[in-house]
Chain A
C-alpha cells in the first residue's frame, strides 16, 4: 500500500496560538488538526484497552502487544512508559508537561535515553491513559516507541544550527516519521527497526550502528541527497552498516528506503528472535547480494508515485526554519571577559560549546552527567528550570542527544555566562561533554528486566574516580559506554572504552572492550580480555586511562588515536600483565 505523505498531510498550522511566544519559533513539527485528532483517538483506544484488561476481557497475552504499541513495558520494579521525542526535539511547553507528568504520575523525574526519548520508570498501568492524554495535549505520544516497527528516527542533535551542516536532518526525519507511522507494511516487521540521519559527514548520529543510516550529501551539481547504509546494529551480534549507495537523491529517498524495508520484510527471519534484525540478513546474504535485492525491488517499484515532491519538503522545512536570530558581531566582549575572570566557566566553554552557523551565537550542550550522577536522569524541578532557560536563552527550544545530554542550540554568546551560572545552580553546569565522565549507560539491572548487571553505579563510580575536571580536560576526549547486558542499549560496542555487564553465577561481572567509535570513523570495539568483578571494574578502567596518559604522544593525541597508533597491546599488558 502506498502510504507516502501527500502535500495535504503537511498543511499550514491551523491550530491557533497554542504556545507561548518563544516556542512559536521552536524547531519542532507542529501538529495540524488531523494529527491532533489522531493522537487523541489513539489515547482513547488505549484507555479502552486498559479497561478491558483490568476487567479481564483481555488476557495478558492479548494485551501485551497493545501496551507495547503504546510504549508501556513491564520492567523489574514497575511498568515503564517510553515517550517519543521525535528526533530529540523538544520545546519548553513539552518539557514543562514532562515535568508535570513526572511529578503527578511518576516519582518526580524522567530518564533521557540513547534513542533521544524519555522514559518514566514508575507509572501505574491505570494512570497511563491519563499520562497519554496529558502528552497529547502538547502534541506528544508514545506510539511506536516499542514493538517490531520503525522506531524514533534519530538525528544529529546540532541540526539546523551547526556551521558544518549540509542539510537539516530534522526535515527528513519528520518525513520519515510521517511515512513510517502506522505504515501497514511496516507495522509487523521481523524485529524493531532503527533509522538515523546525520546532516553532516561529521556523523553525530552514529549512522553506521543503525538498521538504516543516512548521511546527507550533495551531488557535484549541488543536488541534495543521502549516502545510504543498511544492516548496522549492536546487541549480541554487532555489525557496522554497509554502504548500499553513495548517493540517493532527495526525491528518491522514500522509494529507496521502502525498497530496503520490503526486502527486509520478505527475507528477514521470523523464526528466531536473535537472528531477526536486518543486520543478520545483510551479513548472511552478503552486502553485494543484499544490495542487488534492494536495487531489484527499487527498479520494480512505481517510483514516480513515491517521489518526494519539492513542495512536501518545503512544507516540512517551514516547521524547522531558523529562529529569528539577531545580526550580531562574531565576538562578544561579555563572553570573553567572563572566560578570563571565571576559570570554571572557561572550562565549560571548552567542552560544552559548539560553533553555531550564525555570528555571535553558540550551541550549548547541557551535561546530564554531573559527577556521581545518573546519566540521563532529570528531575521534574530541573525540567521546569530547563524549560525556563530555553525560553530565556534559546527561543524555547531544546534537543535530546543520543549521548543522553540536552542541547540549547541558539544561545547568544553574550548570554552564555548567565546561562552557565543558572545551570550550575540546578546542578547541570558540569564541564565534561565528550570527556571521561560523560558516560552513556543503559538503565541496567537497576531497572531493566533484561539486564544481567548494573550499569549506572559503574558509571557513577568511574565519574567519581575522575571527578577532578582539570584531570578530565587533560585526559581529553574519551567516550565510555556501558551496557548491563548483551542487548547493548548502552552502546558498549562503539565506546572508546566499552563495558559490558554479564551474569557470572548470579553475580555481576564486567568485560572491557577497547577501540569502538560511533563517529565518521565508525569501528566496533574488541574485548580486551577476561572480565572484572564489580569491585574491580573501576580500577581496570583507571588502568586503561593511566596507560593512555603514559604512552600518548602528547596532550593533543586523543585516547582513540593512541589506540590506533599503538594497538591494544600496551593496554592489555597493563590490564593483564605480559602474555
Chain B
C-alpha cells in the first residue's frame, strides 16, 4: 500500500530486494536500516530523494519505494503515521522480532 505523504517533511522507505527487510533512504541517499537515521527531506529535496530511491530500485537494491511523513526530534527522524511507526519497529505483538529486537528505538507506537 502506498502511503500518501502530505506533510512538509518526508522520508523515503523501501524494502531490500534480497530479503525484504525494511530500509530508509539516508540523508546521503544511501540506505539505512533504522528510520531514526533516515533523511528528513523538505521541498525540492523530496523529489531528489525519490529519484535516487527509484534509481536504486532499478539497480536491484530495493523494491516498493514510497515517501512517508516524518518529523524530526533531537536529530532523529520519526514517522508520524502508525503504519510507518510499526514498520520502523516490528510487530507490536513480538518485541523479539523486527528492528526493535536489534536495538532500542526512539520510535514509539
Contact = CB atoms under 8 A, between A and B. Distances in A.
Contacts of A79: 19-20
Contact of A124 (B20, B81, B91, B92): B20
Contact of B22 (A53, A77, A503): A77
A78 interface: yes
A322 interface: no
Interface in A27-84: 53-56, 60, 74-79
A122 B97 contact: yes
A216 interface: no
Contacts of B91: 77, 446-447, 456
Interface stretch (B31-39, B40-48, B56-64): B56-64
Interface residues of A, number: 33
B22 A76 contact: yes
A451 B83 CA distance: 8
A19 to B, nearest CB: 33
A54 B17 CA distance: 8
A45 B20 CA distance: 21
Interface in A441-484: 445-447, 449-452, 454, 456-457, 460
- Majority DSSP secondary structure for residues of B touching A: loop
Contacts of A56: 59-60
A452 B3 CA distance: 11
Contact of A446 (B18, B22, B63, B93): B93
Nearest to A452: B83
Given A60-B57, A107-B97, A454-B92, A446 B86 contact: yes
A456 B91 CA distance: 10
A318 to B, nearest CB: 42
A345 B80 CA distance: 48
Contacts of A454: 86, 92-93
A74 B93 contact: no
B83 to A, nearest CB: 6
Given A76-B87, A77-B21, 19 more contacts: A60-B17, A60-B57, A74-B15, A74-B20, A75-B20, A76-B22, A77-B20, A77-B22, A77-B87, A77-B97, A78-B20, A123-B20, A124-B19, A125-B20, A126-B18, A126-B19, A445-B82, A451-B83, A506-B81
Q: Lowest 3 CB-CB distances: which A-B pairs, in order?
A: A124-B19, A79-B20, A446-B91
Interface of A: 53-56, 60, 74-79, 107, 122-126, 374, 445-447, 449-452, 454, 456-457, 460, 503, 506-508
